Structures are given as structure tokens and as C-alpha cells.
Amino acid sequence: MTDRIVLAYSGGLDTSVAIGWIAEATGAEVIAVAVDVGQGGESLETVRQRALDCGAVEAYVADARDEFAEQYCMPTLKANGLYMDAYPLVSAISRPIISKHLVAAAQQFGATTVAHGCTGKGNDQVRFEVSIQTLGPELKCIAPVRDLALTRDKAIEYAERHNLPIETTKKNPFSIDQNVWGRAVETGFLEDIWNGPTKDVYDYTADPAFPPAPDVVNITFVQGVPVALDGETLTPLQMIEHLNRRAGAQGVGRIDIVEDRLVGIKSREIYEAPGAMAMMAAHQELENITLEREQARFKKMVDQRWTEMVYDGQWFSPLKKNLDAFIDESQKYVSGEIRLELHGGRATVQGRRSETSLYSFDLATYDTGDTFDQSSARGFIDIFGLSAKTSSEREQRIHGAPDLSGAGVEK
């Protein structure tokens, strides 16, 4: 029986050429797998037919937009997933869901190997292969660009020689990856980190320097997940799409970062994630009023570790699952409504309300109605500072009083 290889297929030049390239290099039949995670562009049927026209023996296509929004974007939101406090894991969270479908296709069609289009110095090769090996330990992985010497020049020449139904002459100056959660742009003149991004870099966001009138939105959350926008109930996918349009029109969610890649390279990346960044601002503020102080402090550490693991391709790892459990439990009371003003590239919190809020007006107010017992403060301070006071007394007993001469007011 002829070996079969499943290929992660985008419908573009490189993966279209990879179908025949892999077949010639390995003698295997190629099954193309296209997964829609909200990247836009051509229909899945068009992509499926192109794969068959380029030589695939089978074409597996999946509309995974709702699955992606519910099972990958929402956990990222609950974890406040911002790598290096800036990048909302746009590409990192799409790789595990694509890998899941690649493994499902391999099992369905009897393939022994999975192929992807990554280079040898990026993060995505790790994300794909670790996910594939975790979900399908029996599967092998290959990368035509990395392992079979498929360069862009060779891809163009191959497509023209074989009359493949794919555009070969137009070359975008950037490398772009996008889905409903956001858009990632790199290479070209952006690799000189002194160069600022030009207008043609952006697609999801308008120029924040020339914004329309401010747009105020009310986002309702239930247990950490946004469920309604301005009182209208929406699915996670609809929520992201609506806020991509509204926040994007205000230039919200533009990110320019020199990023520490997993493979040890620093890489300049431009991201657009208007809906994600608006929801992240709202979610973090709702946590501020619903999480207990020590719980909130510890969750920040968990969030950071969760984010690092997802960035590093460990979506399906045991520790990531453990962290998921903690994060989900922490969201039990993260319900309520946040009012955001979207304007000039910013998502600014204007109002908060929640039936499960820990904020007490009666405790916080300095006016009539204050229920805080101020007489308890003195004893609290004495106990809170006791260890530092005891240590200081020891220092002064052994070394003498500290020199405070430089602490006075100059005359």
C-alpha cells in the first residue's frame, strides 16, 4: 500500500507546490487539510478544489471558526494571555487546533506522516510538531521548506512548469498569518527594527491618529467569558468579529514588538488584534473587582506560565491542563459588565458593575456611611510590621543606629 502524507494546506503558492513536491520526493500520496480559523479569503470549497487540482488524492476541509473561538480564544482570554505583556498569542493558539485536525485526517485516511509549511527557524514548526506528536505519537512529521529544500524560487518555477492553478508572480513583501483572533505581519523592510510600519502593513485596524467619534461598548461576562455586547447575546465567534470591526475602526490593538522566539532568535513582529485587546482590557478590569487579593496575585503568575507554555507549543501538555483547571476555577465569580470607550487606538474602561464584585462602597467611602472600623488599623500595622521592626532592633543592637544625616531637609 502506498504511504500517505497529510499536508497542512493554506491554498497558497508554497503549500500548493508542496503537494507535488512531497509526492515526488517521497513517493507518497498527499492528503491536503485546510482548516478555517477565521483567516478570511477564499471559500473552503475553492481551497479544496485547488488542492485536488494540484495533485492531492484527498482534500479534508474543516470550518473550525466556532471551535477556535470557544475552545482556544476564550481560554486565552481567561488567562489574559499576553506573551511579553504584549502579544495575544494570535498564531500560537491556532497551531494546536490545526494540528488536531491534521491528526484526525491522518487517522481517517491512514496516513503515517504529517507535513507543514514552516521554516527551520520559527516557532510554528515546534508548535505543530509537538502538538502532532502529542495527539498522534505514531505519526512522523516533515516540513518541505525545512526538510525537502522547497524555496520560494523553486516553488514558482515548479508551479509554472506544471501549470498549477495558483498565482506565481505577485509577491507580498510581508509574511502574514491571520485568523479571527488577530493578524501577524513580519519580514520585508520590517526586519530593520529602525523602520516604522507603513500604512500597507495594516488591514484589521484603521489609523488611530484619525479616529471617528468615540465608540462606547458594554461587554457582559459570565464566568470570565463574554456573552453579550450592548445587551445583545452573542457567541464567542460573533463577539470577536463584532469587536474586531468596532475596535478596529478606532485603531485599537496595534502591536509592534521585538519578540523573543522559542528558538532563541529575536524577531520584529507587527500584530493587529482589535477585538482580542478590547476584550482583554475588559476582562482584566472585571477580574480586578471580583478576584480576592491573594488569588489575583497568584493568578498573574499562573497566567504568565500558561502564556509561555502556549507560546512554546505546549497546548496539550499535562501542566497546561493543570493550569487550565486553576484558571477555570478562578473565573467562578468573574461575571458582570464592563463599559469601554474605544477611541484613538485605546480601549479605556469607564464603568464596572457586578453582582459578585468584592468592591464595597460602604467600606471604601470616606463620607457618611463609612462602615470601616478605623480603630482596628493600629493593631494591624503593629502586627504587619513586627518582623521588620524586630530585625531592625537586632541590627541596631549589633551595629548601632543607622546614619540618617543625609535624610534631613536642606537649608
Binding residues for ATP: 8-16, 117
Q: Which of 43, 175, 360, 392 is catalytic?
A: 175
Distance, CA of 160 to chain centre: 37
Rounded distance between C-alpha atoms, residue 104 and residue 111, angstroms: 10
In 3D space, the residue among 118, 240, 133, 120 whose CA is nearest the CA of residue 179 turns out to be 240
Distance, CA of 82 to chain centre: 7
**Reduced to 3 states, what is the DSSP secondary structure of residue 246?**
helix
Residue 124 appears among annotated catalytic residues? yes
Q: Is the separation of the CB atoms in 218 and 338 below 8 Å?
A: yes
Residue 382 appears among annotated catalytic residues? no
Q: Is the separation of the CB atoms in 341 and 246 below 8 Å?
A: no
Q: Is the separation of the CB atoms in 32 and 51 below 8 Å?
A: yes
Q: Which residues are annotated as a binding site?
A: 8-16, 87, 117, 119, 123-124, 127, 175, 259, 271
Up-side HSE of residue 246: CA atoms within 13 Å toward CB? 22
Q: Which of 4, 91, 124, 183 is catalytic?
A: 124
Q: Which of 4, 14, 131, 346 is catalytic?
A: 14
In 3D space, the residue among 334, 225, 254 whose CA is nearest the CA of residue 90 turns out to be 254
Rounded distance between C-alpha atoms, residue 218 and residue 314, angstroms: 34
Residue 48 appears among annotated catalytic residues? no
Degrees, nearest 5: CA angle 341-331-92 = 75
Q: Which of 95, 246, 254, 268 is catalytic?
A: 95
Q: Which residues are annotated as a binding site for L-citrulline?
A: 87, 123, 127, 175, 259, 271
Position 389, amino acid:
K
Residue 268 appears among annotated catalytic residues? no
The per-residue DSSP string of 304-351 comes to HHHHHHHHTT-TTSHHHHHHHHHHHHHTTT--EEEEEEEETTEEEEEE
Q: Which residues are annotated as a binding site for L-aspartate?
A: 119, 123-124
Give the active site residues.
Answer: 14, 95, 124, 175
